[in-house]
Amino acid sequence: MPDLANRHEQRRRNPWLAIFYWLIIVITFVPIIVMILYSFNNTPTSRITFTWYGFTTYWYRNLTQVDGLTHAFVVSLEVAVISAVVSVLIGTPLSIALGRYRFWAKGIISSMVFADIAAPAVVVGAASLSFFLSIRLDTGLLTILIAHIAFNIAYVVVVVRARLSGMDSSIEDAARDLGANPFTTFTRVTLPLLWPALLAAGLLAFAMSIDDYVITSFVAGSTVTFPLFVYGAAKVGLPPQVLCFGTIIFLVGLLLAFANGALNRRHLASRASTEDSLSTLVTDTNILTPVAASVDATADPSLA
Amino acid sequence: MTTVQTRSASSARNKRPSWLRRHSPPYWLSLIGGGWMLAFFLIPLVSGLIVSLETGNPLQGYNLTWSWSIYKQLFVHSQIPYTTFMLRSLYYGAATTILSIIVAYPMAYYIAFKVKQRWKSPLLFLVLLSFFVSFVIRTDMWSFILSNQGIVITALHKMHLVSKNFHILGTSDAVIGGDVYNNLAFMVLPIYVALERIDGRILEAARDLYSSGRQVFLRVVLPLSRAGIFAGVLLVFITTVGDPVVSSLLGGVGTYTIGQAIQDSYLTNQQFNVAAALSTALMVVLGIIMFIYAKVFGTQNIENLV
Amino acid sequence: MLRAGGIGAGLAGLSALLSACGIAGSASRDHNNIDWASFWHEQKKTGVLNFANWPLYIDSEHGKSESIDLFSNATGIKVNYEAVIQGDAPFYATVEPLLAAQESTGYDIIVITSGWYLTQLINSNFLVALDHAKLGNFTKYASPLVKNPNYDPGNKFSVTWQTGFTGIAYNTKIIKRPITSFEDLSDPAFKGHVGMMNDNTEVGSAALLHMGVSPANSTHQQWKASTEWLKKQRELVLGYYDQSYIQYLENEDTWITQAWSGDVFQANLSGYPHLKYVVPKEGQMVWHDNMLIPRQAQDPLNALDWMNFYYTPKIAGIVADWVNYVCPVPQAKPYIANTLKDPTVANSPLVFPPASIVGKSHDFYVYKDYDDYETWNDTYNPIIE
């Protein structure tokens, strides 16, 4: 495809779009910068305040000092990892069923998956709590996991199914023609090809789970997760360690991104794979907007 | 379909596989996944409806009495204006969606068309980067930045742009702003995906046929990106209408939303049936709106969206 | 279509089956009168105490609490202190299902504010009656303010951890005239900068006091009448806040607000000395955060030990010096002044209120039953939401 960008630049040098883009980006980063800055604030009480008292790394050195914060963070990590793994394990077969077969329940299940993503968190949370109360299941870690896996399955299905629909099924047919049974076909042909999508789906499920506040607030019982802790503490006065945790998470994310970028450059250099840049990953597997898959379907129904 | 034919062709020597064996794989595959969603997503939704029809109190317990009157009680006769909250939430949803499109579209357009290939990933990534931090922390930071003592208002005061009484926090605008901020990525990404799919040669052709930049945009790009906007609208509208967090952290009097009402009646007031009724009503209202929206903007089947 | 209908009917039927039993109430299934004497007689000492409390509510220096350390050294009991309570309502919602199922909450001491949730805990038989024979220090040192409260006659189930006052706080840099009355909360000069609490017991009680009625003895008609002032005042209010009201006051979004005494004290110490707490001339509200022993607690004897240990001038003094709410042991005052050498706290009327202030403090209304509670909610929630 001809390099359109160059052509545009030759025709019209309009800086406004770029300015607009960068302006918005800066605005999105303002609270992050404030967070990082004030995690170093030397406040006299253990509550954040926005008068500047001088620079200190005290809060970083005493990260675990706040009652319940570290525990909440660990709980969030556990829930996120478990729900991501389980939802990928459960969601992948479901995606294959939806993506490769035609059966009468397909429409209903697809609608259910769509509803799961589209339903507002407050409704899902309230409904889940009603359900657990009715069946007398005590709210706690188990109910959090159940609810998280329930919504993560939908995200996994969308991501994996989008990838499947982009994958040519003739490779699998060829494998079958060569005598492979379905199981072998799956493990030696489909799965390796699907692997990037599974990873992307797992990461998405992880991200959705670790940041979930609304649904968790209904079904958590006495268990405290990191977003729940932060929301509750924001009412009493955030301890500075929360800002430290936020900064650390942010830096980890940044690091992962650079690592991904570095790996991509290596791949490009060795030409091992063509699907590596974020934008291609986004368009092929729709890493962070599951419903973006609908773009294909609505723009080109034959892809559905 | 090829699968079935191949298998029967290769096993022509053997007995034909039974109908069950031929048609059962998708059912086995979807058993656990579909079952989980059925048990823990669909049934709870119905359970929510059932609980809304119960009467009682937290001490004595609730019993199913099929009291549909609760809906009338809440939305017609109530002292607490739940209908206002619902309408207000829908308004916030609509305003946020429109504003999001206005902000997100240029950004997506910029990345899709105005930058070289190697910059697309980093720029896209920058949009997503701030979302790594928990949205509760980010929204709370905004409540400090936008406070009367914060940099925004102090700056506006110094520049004499606003009166002494001006404040941002506690207004509907603050809530809408917060919602737009939190949903930016959900709108940028689908639009970007749609724009990226547009074959550049179509744009070239349009230009070769003497259309101006504006015409190219309005008559070629915009319609082709409709699907992306559609996806973004769905996500942003639904998330915003139900959200209780932004209105709680950035709002004040006159910004109470239906999401907050549901959360408060469950967790603070322990009125399980009221909370369930509000939640079911919200779901139904959203469902109707989305259905109408989908029909009007022309998707054949909701199920094809997945 | 038919398929969808069939499935819908199936789902409805299934859910109806599941939900037909409704939701269990929290009223105790065990209605027998419990023989507390033999209950306590059977208890054995263990080595651990699980203490759930609110955040920032015990003395804390670099993550260590001196009062807890002193207790552990004196008794050999290991204390698991968890500051997990962020609200009465959410915490109640988490322990209620466990208590209703007669399971252990995992805690031996919980701290709940006087109010509906405490009343529910008592009425539902979810609390262990205290053995006052082992609480000699309480009898000896506790201030009259915390003895025999209207929500727990005879301190059958609770002893106070800290007491607080709800009055008015304002920013003296912005408001130059003295603030003296609830009427000031509805002064049109402060339009758009008035803060109120979103706890409807606080809002309602303030309105009742404004009317000249003592909330503890108020009637339903008086509740209704008091909403007139609140409805007019609503136009001046910036927001009805939970504990974050203090942030809005500090950040100058609100200039005058309902406030808790301890929050203002701490704000004064953390860079906002210009914020002032006043007792309105109509009176202020007094509330108590109380230590309770939930049923099925594993170590109730240790809980009593801690309660007894706390009610001494030394320990209560150490805690009050840090928490800055009203100390339930008046004799801690000389301890703080002389031994801890902290005259700011010792001489503060917000920590050791003189009789004149105590005289103007009113108790909250105690609900008789759920309908009573609902009536209060229905009266005041429309104002807040």
* Whole-number pLDDT of residue C304: 93
Rounded distance between C-alpha atoms, residue B275 and residue B280, angstroms: 9
Contacts 24+ apart (CB under 8 A), A81-84: A81/A206, A82/A145, A83/A145, A83/A148, A83/A149, A83/A152, A83/A205, A83/A206, A83/A209, A84/A152, A84/A202, A84/A203, A84/A205, A84/A206, A84/A209
The distance of B124 to chain A (nearest Cα, Å) reads 7
Q: Which residue has the higher pLDDT, C30 or C224?
A: C224
The answer to whether the beta carbons of residues A244 and B152 sit under 8 Å apart is no
Residue A3 with chain B: CB contacts under 8 Å? 116-117
Residue B261 with chain C: CB contacts under 8 Å? 385
Vertex B199: Cα angle to B194 and B201 (nearest 5): 150
The distance of C259 to chain A (nearest Cα, Å) reads 13
Q: Cβ–Cβ contacts within 10 Å for residue A282, how many?
A: 24
* Whole-number pLDDT of residue A275: 40
Q: Which of residues 18-37 of A touch B (CB under 8 A)?
A: 18, 20-21, 24-25, 27-32, 34-35
Does the distance separating the beta carbons of A288 and B263 come in below 8 Å? Answer: no
Which of A73-87, A219-233, B74-88 shows the highest mean pLDDT? A73-87
Q: Is A249 on the interface with B (CB under 8 A)?
A: yes
- Which partners does chain B have (≥3 C-beta pairs < 8 Å)? A, C
H helix or E strand, kind and range, residue C110: strand C110-113
Q: Which of residues 215-234 of A touch B (CB under 8 A)?
A: 217-218, 226-227, 230-231, 234
The distance of B121 to chain A (nearest Cα, Å) reads 5
Residue B269 with chain C: CB contacts under 8 Å? 89, 377, 381
Q: Which of residues 198-237 of B touch C (CB under 8 A)?
A: none
Q: Read off the pLDDT band of A270 (50, 70, 90).
A: low
Residue from the list A50, A173, A249 with its beta carbon closest to the beta carbon of B133? A249
Q: Is C47 on the interface with B (CB under 8 A)?
A: no
* Whole-number pLDDT of residue C355: 87
Q: Give residue-wise pLDDT tens across range A33-46.
A: 999 988 888 877 67
Q: Cβ–Cβ contacts within 10 Å for residue C161, how many?
A: 26
- Name residues whose C-beta falls within 8 Å of residue B109's C-beta, 6 or more positions apart in sequence: A17, B191, B195, B221
* Whole-number pLDDT of residue C113: 93
Q: Is B62 on the interface with C (CB under 8 A)?
A: yes
Residue C96 with chain B: CB contacts under 8 Å? 58
The answer to whether the beta carbons of residues C265 and C56 sit under 8 Å apart is no
Q: Give residue-wise pLDDT tens across range A4-32.
A: 554 444 445 578 888 999 999 999 999 99
* Whole-number pLDDT of residue A297: 40
Residue from the list A102, A177, A278 with its beta carbon closest to the beta carbon of B124? A278
Does the distance separating the beta carbons of A31 and B282 come in below 8 Å? Answer: no
Which of B37-51, B97-111, C48-62, C344-358 shows the highest mean pLDDT? B97-111
Interface residue of B40, B119, B235 to substitute, partner A, most A CBs within 10 Å? B40
The distance of C45 to chain B (nearest Cα, Å) reads 33
pLDDT at A116 over 70: yes
Least Cα distance to B250 among C244, C337, C359 occurs for C244
Residue from the list A68, A108, A139 with its beta carbon closest to the beta carbon of C97? A139
* Whole-number pLDDT of residue A266: 67
* Whole-number pLDDT of residue A10: 44
Average pLDDT of the segment spanning C22-35: 66
Q: Is A42 on the interface with C (CB under 8 A)?
A: no
pLDDT at C54 over 90: no
Does the distance separating the beta carbons of A65 and C84 come in below 8 Å? Answer: no
Residue B147 with chain C: CB contacts under 8 Å? 247-248, 251-253
- Name residues whose C-beta falls within 8 Å of residue A2's C-beta, 6 or more positions apart in sequence: B200, B201, B204
Average pLDDT of the segment spanning C364-368: 89
Q: Is B177 on the interface with C (CB under 8 A)?
A: no
Residue A237 with chain C: CB contacts under 8 Å? 56, 243, 246-247
The distance of C234 to chain B (nearest Cα, Å) reads 8
* Whole-number pLDDT of residue C344: 85
Does the distance separating the beta carbons of C385 and B85 come in below 8 Å? Answer: yes
Residue from the list A68, A136, A138 with its beta carbon closest to the beta carbon of C98? A138
- Name residues whose C-beta falls within 8 Å of residue A77's C-beta, 6 or more positions apart in sequence: A210
pLDDT at A238 over 70: yes
The distance of A234 to chain C (nearest Cα, Å) reads 7
Could you give the percent of chain C with pLDDT greater than 70? 91
* Whole-number pLDDT of residue A294: 41
Q: What's the mean per-residue pLDDT of chain A? A: 78
Nearest CA in chain A to B30: A94
Does the distance separating the beta carbons of A133 and C23 come in below 8 Å? Answer: yes
Rounded distance between C-alpha atoms, residue C215 and residue C362, angstroms: 7
Least Cα distance to C98 among A111, A136, B305, B137 occurs for A136
Q: Read off the pLDDT band of C109 (50, 70, 90).
A: very high
Bridge partners for C196 per DSSP: C240
Nearest CA in chain C to B53: C22
Identify the sign of the CA torsion C213, C219, C220, C221: negative
Does the distance separating the beta carbons of C55 and A233 come in below 8 Å? Answer: yes
pLDDT at A280 over 70: no
**Chain B with chain C: Cβ pairs closer than 8 A:** 120
Nearest CA in chain A to B290: A118
- Chain C residues whose C-beta is within 8 A of a chain A C-beta are 3-4, 7, 18-19, 21-24, 54-56, 60, 62-63, 81-84, 86-87, 90-91, 94-95, 97-98, 101, 105-106, 242-244, 246-247, 250-251, 266, 269-271
pLDDT at A142 over 80: yes
Residue from the list A50, A122, A289 with its beta carbon closest to the beta carbon of B242? A122
Q: Read off the pLDDT band of C94 (50, 70, 90).
A: confident
Q: Which residue has the higher pLDDT, C47 or A99?
A: C47
How far from each other are the two terminal CA atoms of chain A, in whole angstroms?
Answer: 25
Task: pLDDT tens for chain B, 306 residues: list them.
Answer: 444 444 444 444 455 556 666 667 777 778 888 889 888 998 998 888 888 888 877 777 778 778 888 888 888 877 788 999 999 999 999 999 999 999 999 999 888 888 888 888 788 888 888 888 888 889 888 888 888 777 788 888 888 877 777 778 888 999 999 999 999 988 998 888 888 878 778 888 888 887 777 777 887 888 888 878 888 888 899 999 999 989 988 888 888 999 999 988 887 777 888 888 899 999 999 988 888 887 777 554 444 444
Residue A112 with chain B: CB contacts under 8 Å? 34, 37-38, 41-42
* Whole-number pLDDT of residue A298: 40
Could you give the percent of chain A with pLDDT greater than 70? 81
- In terms of phi and psi (left: phi > 0; alpha: psi -120 to 50; beta: otherwise), the region of C22 is left
**Range of lowest pLDDT (A158-172, B291-305, C100-114):** B291-305
Q: Read off the pLDDT band of A295 (50, 70, 90).
A: very low
* Whole-number pLDDT of residue B272: 84
Interface residue of A75, A235, A238, A242 to substitute, partner C, most C CBs within 10 Å? A235
Q: Give residue-wise pLDDT tens across range C261-275.
A: 888 888 888 778 999
Nearest CA in chain A to B279: A123
Quote the pTM value: 0.81
The answer to whether the beta carbons of residues A290 and A158 sit under 8 Å apart is yes
Task: List, as one string, the DSSP characters of C212-228.
Answer: T--GGG--HHHHHHHHH
* Whole-number pLDDT of residue B151: 78
Residue from the list B60, B167, B256 with its beta carbon closest to the beta carbon of C385? B256
Residue C173 with chain B: CB contacts under 8 Å? none
- Which partners does chain A have (≥3 C-beta pairs < 8 Å)? B, C
Q: Cβ–Cβ contacts within 10 Å for residue C228, how many?
A: 11
The answer to whether the beta carbons of residues A114 and B303 sit under 8 Å apart is yes
Q: Give residue-wise pLDDT tens across range C180-214.
A: 999 999 999 998 899 999 888 999 999 999 999 99
Does the distance separating the beta carbons of B196 and A294 come in below 8 Å? Answer: no
Residue C24 with chain A: CB contacts under 8 Å? 133, 136
* Whole-number pLDDT of residue A183: 77
Supply the ipTM of this predicted assembly. Answer: 0.79
The distance of C315 to chain B (nearest Cα, Å) reads 34
The distance of C146 to chain B (nearest Cα, Å) reads 27
Q: Read off the pLDDT band of C27 (50, 70, 90).
A: low
